[in-house]
């Protein structure tokens, strides 16, 4: 089985965003990962609806939107209208997580929940059967290029056990510090989807880098 690869446009060249999206279209990438940051939930600001709409004009892949924002429920409908195919919200940002997950599903999008590095997997016991994916942050959210957190491997194992125990079907997505040195180990522990930002976009041959990740089998 081969992983799903979701390059993160947070690491793309924004001055040539159309060409970067066209490169991803021509690659073996499965999804395009789109990070939204509000400067409140995380200490950085990225981009929002206008950029997603621009990406959507050219993207031929699934648009995988990751909301690192407070009160994400206020914006679900607009992200859907702007082009999102999948929307992931943070456990830590949602007062009524079940309601927010249902809100995402009601738009027709796939629904995901993300966990920060300090948040334990067991907190998802009552929601795991409702979500399409769980995103494990393997760095602290907010900035690209951070060092991978080794405890991620244990969290993947715990999450895989929870999914199996509940006979759920959620995919496990890993976001942060993914590269050639840890990708296979992540897959062997149970990851299904790899988000890669700097590793792809700083590569001299991004299409080949994506292909190399895609060809990993587990």
| CA–CA gap between residue 41 and residue 1 (Å, rounded) | 35
Of the candidates 84, 139, 137, which has an alpha carbon nearest to the alpha carbon of residue 107? 84
Of the candidates 207, 184, 135, which has an alpha carbon nearest to the alpha carbon of residue 2? 184
Residues labelled as active-site residues:
35, 175
Other residues' Cβ atoms within 10 Å of the Cβ of residue 215: 11
CB-based contact 171:160 (threshold 8 Å):
no
Of the candidates 184, 180, 186, 218, which has an alpha carbon nearest to the alpha carbon of residue 200? 180
99: which 2 tokens? 């309601």
């Amino acid at each position: 089985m081969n992983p799903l690869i979701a390059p993160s446009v947070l690491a793309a060249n924004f001055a040539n965003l159309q060409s970067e999206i066209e490169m991803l279209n021509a690659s073996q990438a499965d999804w395009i990962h789109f990070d939204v940051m509000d400067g409140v939930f995380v200490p950085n600001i990225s981009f929002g609806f206008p950029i997603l709409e621009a990406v959507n004009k050219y993207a031929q892949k699934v648009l995988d939107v990751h909301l690192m924002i407070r009160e994400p429920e206020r914006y679900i409908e607009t992200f859907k209208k702007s082009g999102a195919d999948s929307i992931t919200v943070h456990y830590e940002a949602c007062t009524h997580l079940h309601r927010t997950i249902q809100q995402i599903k009601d738009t027709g999008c796939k629904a995901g929940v993300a966990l920060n590095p300090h948040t334990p997997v067991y907190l998802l016991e009552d929601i795991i059967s409702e979500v399409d994916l769980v995103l494990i942050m393997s760095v602290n959210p907010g900035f690209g290029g951070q060092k991978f957190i080794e405890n991620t491997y244990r969290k993947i194992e715990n999450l895989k056990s929870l999914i199996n125990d509940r006979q759920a079907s959620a995919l496990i997505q890993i976001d942060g510090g993914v590269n050639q040195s840890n990708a296979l180990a992540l897959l062997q522990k149970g990851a299904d989807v790899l988000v890669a930002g700097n590793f792809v976009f700083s590569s001299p041959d991004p299409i080949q880098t994506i292909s190399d990740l895609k060809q990993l089998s587990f």
